[in-house]
Amino acid sequence: MKKTVLITGTSSGIGKATVFEFAKMGWNVVATQRNPDKETDFNGLSNVKMYALDVTSLDSIKQAMNAAQKEFGKIDVVVNNAGYGVDGVFEAMSDKIIENQFNTNVFGLMRVTREAIKLMRPNGGGTIIQISSMGGKITFPLYSIYHATKFAVEGFTESLHYELNQFNIKMKLIEPGPIVTDFYGRSRQIIKSTETNQYDGFIQKFNDAAAKVMKDAEGPDVVAKSIYKAATDNSNQMRYAVGKPGPMLLILRKLLSDKLYFSMVKKSYNL
C-alpha cells in the first residue's frame, strides 16, 4: 500500500522540490498551498493531490487534513515547510511584523503539528518533519526575529518528541543552510529604519557578505532529499543538517566558545 505525505507551503522552493521528490519515489503526495488554483507544475503528476491550506487558519488546516485522510485513508508523514523570513533592523519592526512572523513560522507549525498528532495517534504512529534552519541553532546579524522563530521550533520539537514516543510518532528537524529559494527573493521581508540612517553602513556590510555566500549556495533539491531520508530511514535521528556550509557551521558552534564564534561571524561580515 502506498504511503501518504502531506506537505505545507508547496508553491515554491523547498516545498515544491519535496513534492517532486516524494512523487518520484511513488508516494501519494498531498501538496498544500494557500492558493492551489494557481499551481500548474504538478498537473502531470497523478499521485499528487492539491489542497488549500493556510497555516494561520485552524479551520483551513482541519479541513485540508481531514479531507486528505478521507481521500487516502491515512497520513503517514507531515512535512511542516510553510514559512518565510523577516530580516532587518529590530528597532524598526512593529508588533504586527513580529506577530505575523511568529504566527506563520511558529504558531502555524504548531497548529499543523497538533492536528497531525490527532490523526496519527489513533492510526498507530507517523512522522512529523519540521523544516527548521541552521538558524535554529546559530545566529547571524539582522535575523533576530527569524532566529527567534526557528529557536522556538527547535525547542518545541525536541520537548514534544518525549510525549509522542509512546504513540510511535517520530519528530524530525531539518536544518538547512543557505539554499537558493524565494526565501531570499520574493518571500523575503526586509525591514529598514525610517527614523535613522545609523544602521545603513551595518546593513550594507551584511548584504555584501551575504551575496557572496549565496553564490555558492545549493538548490532546494538537496533539502528535499534530506526530508525524504528523514521520512524513510526508520531511525531515531532527530536532526538533519543540510546545505553547505550549514553542517560545518553547526559543528563549529558546538566546539567554539561564544567569544570565538561571535568573532568569527563579525569577521565574516566585516563588522
pLDDT digits (tens, 9 = 90+) for 94-119: 999 999 999 999 999 999 999 999 99
Is the pLDDT score of 250 beyond 90?
yes
Rg of the chain, C-alpha, whole Å: 19
Q: Count CB neighbours of 5 within 10 A.
A: 28
Fold assignment, 4-268: Rossmann fold (3.40.50)
The residue-averaged pLDDT of 142-149 equals 97
- CA 242 to each of CA 178, 230, 266, 268: distance values in angstroms, whole numbers, following the listed order: 9, 12, 23, 20
With cut-offs at 50, 70 and 90, classify the pLDDT of residue 190: confident
Q: 15 in the Ramachandran plot: left (φ > 0), alpha (ψ -120 to 50) or beta? A: alpha
pLDDT of amino acid 182: 65
DSSP string covering the chain? ---EEEES--SSHHHHHHHHHHHHTT-EEEEEES-GGG--TTTT-TTEEEEE--TT-HHHHHHHHHHHHHHHS---EEEE----EEEE-GGG--HHHHHHHHIIIIIIHHHHHHHHHHHHTTTT-EEEEEE--GGGTS--TT-HHHHHHHHHHHHHHHHHHHHHGGGTEEEEEEEE-SB-SGGGTTTEEEE--SS-STTHHHHHHHHHHHHHHHHTPBPTHHHHHHHHHHHHS-----EEEESTTHHHHHHHHHHS-HHHHHHHHHHHTT-
Report how far Cα 264 is from the mean position of its chain's Cα atoms.
26
pLDDT of amino acid 192: 86
The residue-averaged pLDDT of 210-234 equals 92
Query: pLDDT (tens digit, 9 = 90+) per residue, 147-157?
Result: 999 999 999 99
Q: What is the pTM of this model?
A: 0.95
With cut-offs at 50, 70 and 90, classify the pLDDT of residue 143: very high
C-alpha cell at 119: 490523526
All structural domains of the chain with their residue ranges: 4-268
Residues with a catalytic annotation lie at 132, 146, 150
B/e letters for 18-45, b = 16+ CB within 10 Å, e = fewer, are bbbbbbeeebbbbbbbbebeebeebeee
Altogether, the residues listed in the chain come to a count of 271
Query: pLDDT (tens digit, 9 = 90+) per residue, 66-89?
Result: 999 999 999 999 999 999 999 999
